[in-house]
Amino acid sequence: MKMQRLLLAVLCMSFSSALWAQAYPNRPIRVVIPWPPGQATDLAARIVADRLSQSLGQPFIMDNKPGAGGQIGTDIVAKAAPDGYTLLAASSGPISIAPSLQKLPYDPLTNLAPISVVALNPFALVTFPTFPAANAREFIARLKAEPGKYTFSSSGTGATAHLITEFFNSIAEVQTRHIPYKGSVPALTDLMGGQVDYTFETIPSVVPHIKSGRLKTYGISSNHRSAAMPEVPTIAEVTGLEFNIGSWMGYMGPAGLPKEIADKLAAEIQKAVYSNEVKERYTPLGMDQIAQTPQEMTAMLRREQERFAAVIKKANIKID
């Protein structure tokens, strides 16, 4: 009899959980964006949210909470009720990189629940127009020939662009010097002027300068070409190096988010991300379409955190 009551209780809980997921959402959903408006994570989250509002029948309220490299907004969601009505526009910086650089008020792998990645953001290897190399293979050969001579810029120590460049340096076995800046704009300005030799930056930030002739590109950091610059090869295809890296954007919730709700959101995100409308909006931004199950995103987050941790350790990167 005791076993029957226990079984009945479990069945009731499962039935209630299923009904809850079917009824979800029945009120507006808040999406905390830990970056200012117009940043890549903000744009990707809003593009997908527009489709989710249509398919789920509830408004998605976008709430920008920037600060501390994305940590402030991320921590808000980590401490929110796990009911599916507070979600995070998550990204590489505060989730995959920051844990290896500083003490955080949250643990990305235990205080947050993965839902789905919504976009990948490959980077482009760029130099000033007169750099004396015809392609990525020649570029690497020149850097190898004179260790320590060449410099690369980034938007700041520990930034995604910095780590991607360090990863490239490691894979290509070159030794160069890092010149950090306070933001991408001054880093690219000095690169165009020849004060530094190269960098990796997001495709939207460099496309106008490449088209105008102020920058030259040697390739894309992902293992497939970008729809925004289909004529530009990947670094992997030119050099043969196993080089495939970029930043990611996605949706997460607080830990304890019911599986039924996470699965429902992931299914709707997949429909949204692979729609023609989203593709058309992603392409000018240099973003690649991708969607995952919560389980796939969980595995990806562990891999990305381990990979960036290894880059940080090998390059001995520290921030004040």
Say if residue 130 is in the same domain as residue 144. Answer: yes
Which among 194, 212, 239 is the end of a domain? Answer: 239
* DSSP letter string, 214-258: S-EEEEESSSS--TTSTTSPBHHHHH------EEEEEEEEETT--
The single residue listed with the structure tokens 């880059």 is 311
Report how far apart the first and last C-alpha atoms of the chain are (Å, whole number): 63
pLDDT in the model for residue 130: 97
pLDDT in the model for residue 17: 52
What's the CA angle centered on 198, arms 194 and 199, to 5 degrees?
A: 130
Say if residue 260 is in the same domain as residue 230. Answer: no
Q: Which domain holds residue 72?
A: 28-120+247-315
pLDDT in the model for residue 10: 55
Which among 239, 274, 291 is the end of a domain? Answer: 239
pLDDT in the model for residue 319: 85
What does pLDDT average to in each consecutive run of 10 residues of the chain (320 residues)? Answer: 60 53 90 95 97 98 96 98 98 96 96 98 97 97 97 95 96 97 94 97 93 96 92 97 96 98 98 96 94 98 96 91
Say if residue 235 is in the same domain as residue 141. Answer: yes
Partners of 113 in the β-ladder: 253
Count of the separate structural domains present in the chain: 2
pLDDT in the model for residue 269: 98
